[in-house]
Amino acid sequence: MRLKHFNIDPGAQIFLACSDTARLRILNLIMTHGEMCITDLENILEFTQTKTSRHLIYLKNSGILTSRKFNQWMFYQIKDEVFEIMTQIFQFLRRDPVLQKDQQVFQTMYTNRELTLNKLRMKPLGVN
């Protein structure tokens, strides 16, 4: 289900959530790659576990993110209902040098197989 329009309260929550640079950096990575593990976000953004968790909880409570747990990892993704509005917001920010640097770090870590998603792909199915 996608939102075609929303009331002022949910809109204010989304815009408040996007008023922080750290949260925008997290959202940009999740928007670009579909789903991100908290440990990967910590490594890419060079945030502490506490800082990353605090921002992810804020984004989840604001109705932007949803999560799922797999083994010991927690993965976050954008809710379908807000995907279009988030896409529009990031169209304005796509050339930001900080966000572009985050994407370069992601690519380097992905290539070097340092991200959780790579570790999961290398593990045989059914093995925890």
| Mean pLDDT computed over 25-29 | 97
Q: Is residue 37 included in any domain, yes or no? A: yes
Q: Is residue 19 included in any domain, yes or no? A: yes
Q: Is residue 1 included in any domain, yes or no? A: no
What is the pTM assigned to this prediction?
0.85
Q: Is residue 58 included in any domain, yes or no? A: yes
Number of domains in the chain: 1
**CATH code, 106:** 1.10.10.10
Q: Is residue 126 included in any domain, yes or no? A: no
Residue-number span of the structural domain to which 58 is assigned: 8-121
Q: Is residue 127 included in any domain, yes or no? A: no
pLDDT digits (tens, 9 = 90+) for 57-98: 999 999 999 999 988 889 999 999 899 889 999 999 989 999
Q: How far is CA 46 from CA 41, 50, 64, 66, in A?
A: 8, 12, 22, 22
Q: Is residue 2 included in any domain, yes or no? A: no
Percentage of the chain modeled with pLDDT above 70: 88
Under DSSP, is residue 34 helix (H, G, I), strand (E, B) or coil? Answer: coil
Contacts 24+ apart (CB under 8 A), 49-57: 51/22, 52/26, 55/20, 55/22, 55/23, 55/26, 56/26
Under DSSP, is residue 96 helix (H, G, I), strand (E, B) or coil? Answer: coil
Report the range of poorest mean pLDDT among 31-45, 82-96, 105-119: 105-119
Confidence of residue 127 (pLDDT cuts 50, 70, 90): very low
The rounded mean pLDDT for the chain is 87
Q: Is residue 28 included in any domain, yes or no? A: yes
